[in-house]
Structure 1
Amino acid sequence: MTFLRNVVLVAAAAGLLASLVMTALQAYSTVPLILKAETFESAGEATGHDHGAPAAAEATGTEAVPAAAEAHSHGEEAWTPADGFERFFFNFLANVLSGIGFALILVAASEFAGGISGWRSGILWGFAGFAVFTLAPGLGLPPELPAMPAADLAARQVWWIGTVLATAAGLALIAFRGTVALSILGVALIVVPHIIGAPQPESHDSPIPADLHHQFVVATTVTNLIFWALLGGLVGAVRSRFFGSASEARGQLA
């Protein structure tokens, strides 16, 4: 019970602080691009049909399973937070919930691997989290803006989850097993999802300018990198206050 309590406390503290920084970064990076894309979406709806395009969530460090915002709007528009404080608040709330969730995964995984010895080690773990949850899935399913076409939601979710699991397993084999054969297997696991390929829409036609989408992908990737590095560093810095030495933490885990 002590171990589980400490895991939750470390994850809550690190996840909350990292989410605060992430929300502030998004306010000046991804959110303005989303608002700009929504003007293209509105213009397209005014000149086209009544089928509303999927609404893009804020691109968080939490850019997890593709959002289930696929339903077409027939007469009624789906509720979305108003611009300004309401949008900022709900974005912050989503960041906190997912940030703490990712921190729980990071803390638990690192403890099973021997624990994070300090903030420098934590940053390395954060880079691994970035590779698993943002970089690898983003190579096949880059972040989307409103009004952009997307493949079937279920197919995207299956590919995303498979890519995350394969990348995590591959990195673990490379980092912790130390044999050539297992390292080769790890590389293969990382590469296989991209050989299979992510689900793609039938058409990539979109009212969103290509340069705007490119800016959004870059902004999302950079903010996620900062989020994960900060999250890992905070976990490493906070961990010693709850677990003490690495041997003590392993004793709690046992």
Structure 2
Amino acid sequence: MFQRIAFSAGVAGLLAALLLSVLQSLWMTPLILQAETYEVQTEAPAMAQHHEHGDEAWSPEDGWPRTLSTFGGNLVVAVGFGLVLAGLFNLRPPTRLRQGLLWGLAGYATFCLAPSLGLPPELPGTAAADLTLRQAWWIGTATATATALALLAFARHPGFKLAALGLLVLPHLLGAPQPVAHGSLAPEDLQRHFQLAVLASNLPFWLLLGLACSWLFRRQGARC
């Protein structure tokens, strides 16, 4: 069973990571590079004024190093999410291929759409709240959303359905942590374009991950 889960998650994660990496290189990376130019233009006068050059954080060079680094990160994340999906399939095996799409949509809503309502994707040079607070809110929102979707899909009692609706809105009623002062070095239009690119790129990623993982899991089960 572990081999079935690992194989399904590994292959599906590889395919989904490849798709996401292509979409990012074509759509998101150019926006990030454009935003970094505003960041460099702002930092240059300050560097010249203080004449001090501290140690800079490592980052991959533009071109293939950045692309390969992005793909490596996407692969780790995709396989991790694939393991979660395959583990859930082990508890509730999909009977139809389209169920994989529904699981993918649930993953997209849980890990991308719901958290982005409070913490939208950010370009370099954007003011942000404390990282620990943002991470805690993100985890809480994803957990509440996943629990709510599970109750809506599988619970029978109306009380659980009502509780699910409450869980869906609770993180947003509490509100995501916000910076003391909002601001961004990149123009507002570029920010909106980037947020749209992130949301749009992650949708086919999750659909492919759910579909491929479901198909592979069922195929491996048929061979057993």
TM-based fold match above 0.5: yes
Query: What code does the residue aligned with 1:149 have?
Result: A
Aligned partners of 2:130 and 2:77: how far apart in 1? 23
Q: In the alignment, which of 189, 192, 198 is matched to residue 211 of structure 1? A: 189
Q: Aligned runs of 1:95-106 on 2, under 5 Å?
A: 95-106=74-85
- Counterpart residue number, 2:11: 13
Root mean square deviation of aligned Cα: 1.7
Q: In the alignment, which of 94, 101, 119 is matched to residue 123 of structure 1? A: 101
Query: What code does the residue aligned with 2:215 have?
Result: A
- Counterpart residue number, 1:46: 44
Query: What code does the residue aligned with 1:75 have?
Result: G
Deviations 1:194-242 (A, max 9, x none): 0000000011122110000000000000000110011111112211221
Q: In the alignment, which of 33, 38, 61 is matched to residue 31 of structure 2? A: 33
Aligned partners of 1:147 and 1:6: how far apart in 2? 43
Aligned partners of 1:180 and 1:106: how far apart in 2? 27
Query: What code does the residue aligned with 2:34 have?
Result: K
Aligned partners of 1:170 and 1:143: how far apart in 2? 23
- Counterpart residue number, 2:180: 202
- Counterpart residue number, 1:94: 73
- Counterpart residue number, 1:58: none
Deviations 1:52-85 (A, max 9, x none): xxxxxxxxxxxxxxxxxxxxx9711101000000
| Higher normalized helix content (fraction of residues) | 2
Deviations 1:71-115 (A, max 9, x none): xx9711101000000000000000111100011111112332x21
Query: What code does the residue aligned with 1:212 have?
Result: L
- Counterpart residue number, 1:110: 89
For the Cα contact (< 8 Å) 1:129–1:228, is it kept in 2? Answer: yes
Aligned partners of 2:96 and 2:12: how far apart in 1? 13
Relative contact order, higher structure (CA 8 A, sep 6+) = 2
Overall identity of the aligned pairs, in %:
44
User: Which deviates the most, 163-172 or 117-126?
Assistant: 117-126
For the Cα contact (< 8 Å) 1:119–1:232, is it kept in 2? Answer: no
Q: Report deviation, 1:48.
A: 3.7
- Counterpart residue number, 2:123: 145
Q: Report deviation, 1:49.
A: 6.1
1:188 aligns with 2:166: yes
Q: 1:173 to 1:74 in 2, by over 3 A?
A: farther
5+ residue gaps, structure 1: 51-72, 249-254
| Paired positions, count | 221
For the Cα contact (< 8 Å) 2:134–2:176, is it kept in 1? Answer: yes
1:85 aligns with 2:83: no
Aligned partners of 1:132 and 1:74: how far apart in 2? 41
Aligned partners of 1:190 and 1:25: how far apart in 2? 29
Query: What code does the residue aligned with 2:3 have?
Result: R
Query: What code does the residue aligned with 1:126 have?
Result: G
For the Cα contact (< 8 Å) 1:117–1:236, is it kept in 2? Answer: no
Q: 1:49 to 1:204 in 2, by over 3 A?
A: farther
Question: When the two structures are superposed, what TM-score results if normalisation uses the length of structure 2?
Answer: 0.94
Q: 1:47 to 1:234 in 2, by over 3 A?
A: same
Question: Tell me, what secondary structure is at the counterpart of 1:29?
Answer: helix
Aligned partners of 2:220 and 2:105: how far apart in 1? 23
Query: What code does the residue aligned with 1:33 have?
Result: L
Q: Report deviation, 1:47.
A: 2.8
> Runs in 1 of length 4+ with deviation above 2 angstroms?
47-50
